[in-house]
Chains A and B, each alone.
Chain A
């Protein structure tokens, strides 16, 4: 992040070397406090309000910031008695009698001083004891009104003209600091945007996030991503802002058609202050009425130099009731830079994604190759044995004296071979279908109980201890698949542990205690619960309380045995296909379990202590 010193480091002085006028000097010294805290916008506004109140001896006041798209003034910071009982936190900016002095200041951009509100036509009463009111706009260097500083007093004619001057000077300093603070926020949002794209795997999700973030960072009313079709002749809407979602895939521009088509055709950024004055404008985007669009900004997305599509942002024409003229609608040169940065980041993650997909395809092919080879080998062996048994049967039945006992013995062998063949086929099928889920609302406790009863033999088996959380919430899972996974784990446990000791099955939520016990899994738990995705809906910091770590909504199922456990060296390969210590089947067992758990967007880990027993921990999102 770029770090700049706070603006204005030396007291102002006149060009002729004479001391600056006292108002300017006082405002400068008061402003020093909030200029030092421009990293936090609310802290800055609080300092401004406190300095303002002290400077003019006000008793109550607030700082409001303009929310331009909503046409509202948000009361960000308040001071003085009574605010906690007043439900108002926003003021609509409308041209209407009695809408208030503050609204008047926002609309006109002019400061306002009144000595007795009871005689003022603009006054709107919040508190009955107010007499004097002083309101100054926060105007930035481009002349845009950002908000209002409002100071009140219960005394008639409490404020002088000098007070007004002092407050204006203070507000001007504050406006600069707010601009810097907002720039910082945008800068941080841009960085965060890049980080998010780098961690997003699903392409649709990536593009949807990109448009949402772009709309927020560019303060656009609508933001959309168009992708060039395979023939290269049309742009198709791939992702749109909140209102445009239903239109995905249904809005098309020919390359060269309209402003968006122009950007695709020329491969260059286009910024138009008012689309209605541009003959190229077609207004095909149905989520916005053609005549409501005013400012336009679009930039090509070209990963590795080849045009992929277009990122477009538009701002609405202000409605009559909106705060027109307070802030120009057109996109600035800085917005162009930001849009181009966003487009480059999207392009980079598209490139990364296509490389990743290629790699996954190759790996899948390789895995398929190995799987087929192994399956052919194992099935071949079983069929060979079966043919041997047939050969023997033929020989036995041709003998002059048919020995029924011998025949039955061979039939039993053939049955064993066929059973093994079926086991391999089942494993093969389970491996292939592990990721195909049929979800229903499921009580995991009930499922665990059922699997334990079915899988664990009644005799020659370890004691089973169930620790099931009675408050476990139901989850959306495929019960059949999860049973398959759990019974695999239980079978393994029984085989390795033998008939002695205890086999423990546990269910519960993933909470703070678990996060403390298995800190290495805390990140996994957050990832599977989709928590980061939920947070990222807003890129710009909104509510600091929302950043508090919340235990992610996930449930856990544990299978813990008292067998020899998993040696440290085996842990990394444990879930690999064909990794087996058993002679049965193909060695796909645990990789099937992992496949099933991961298809549920869950995670499975072995957390046992080698020598003390295996301990499998499954996390499933939900609850």
Chain B
């Protein structure tokens, strides 16, 4: 079962996202801000498959730091950045740094929770295919005697 970490300093928002994703069948953990989120990413025995993080928490760049922490732990972790007051510059910055997606919390006439379930599914598919590709490369490497990944 895929494991997802949700980082948001708004308890109600965090709880709502967690409940929706659990309903979709994922194993979900929660962190109440950048500090706790980064700590979880680093200390968890296995890396999270997907990290969904709010952008503005302790400060306006909290989301960028959780994104970096997740990719530093496992470069094939997927990260979706959520924001309640989106700016294009920020979205571009997140994608450039390797986020899977950048989702605004408030989109008129869109149930962002359903959108999140879809995007989470897509992100986890990408992670899966990345990991499968990696495994194949490793097998080829082993067969040919080349170490691709330590």
- Partner-B contacts on A (CB < 8 A): 373, 376-378, 380-385, 387-389, 391-392, 395, 413, 416-417, 420, 583
Contact = CB atoms under 8 A, between A and B. Distances in A.
B17 A388 contact: yes
Nearest to A413: B12
Contact of A391 (B10, B85, B105, B114): B114
A387 B12 CA distance: 11
A382 B12 CA distance: 8
A391 B111 contact: yes
Contacts of A420: 12
A416 B12 contact: yes
Contact of A384 (B19, B23, B56, B112): B112
Chain B facing A: main interface SS: helix
A385 B12 contact: yes
Given A380-B85, A395-B23, 19 more contacts: A377-B56, A377-B85, A380-B84, A381-B13, A381-B105, A382-B13, A383-B106, A384-B13, A384-B16, A384-B105, A387-B113, A388-B12, A388-B20, A392-B19, A392-B20, A392-B23, A413-B15, A413-B16, A417-B12
Contacts, number: 63
Nearest to B86: A380
A388 B84 contact: no
Q: Which 7 A-B pairs have the closest CB atoms?
A: A388-B16, A380-B84, A385-B12, A384-B105, A377-B85, A385-B13, A391-B113
A377 B112 CA distance: 16
13 contacts: A381-B13, A382-B13, A383-B106, A384-B105, A385-B10, A388-B12, A389-B12, A391-B111, A392-B16, A392-B20, A413-B12, A413-B15, A583-B9
A391 B18 CA distance: 12
A69 B74 CA distance: 93
Contacts of A389: 12, 16
Contacts of A382: 10, 12-13
Interface residues of B, number: 19
B12 A373 contact: no
B149 to A, nearest CB: 39
Chain A facing B: main interface SS: helix
Contacts of A383: 105-106
A420 B10 CA distance: 11
Contacts of B113: 387-388, 391
B114 to A, nearest CB: 7
B14 to A, nearest CB: 8
Nearest to B56: A377
B103 to A, nearest CB: 10
Contact of B106 (A380, A395, A417, A583): A380
A376 B20 CA distance: 24
A381 B10 contact: yes
Nearest to A389: B16
Given A388-B13, A389-B16, A416-B12, A380 B105 contact: yes
B84 A381 contact: yes
A507 to B, nearest CB: 40
Contacts of A416: 12
A12 B2 CA distance: 113
A376 B16 contact: no
Contacts of A417: 12
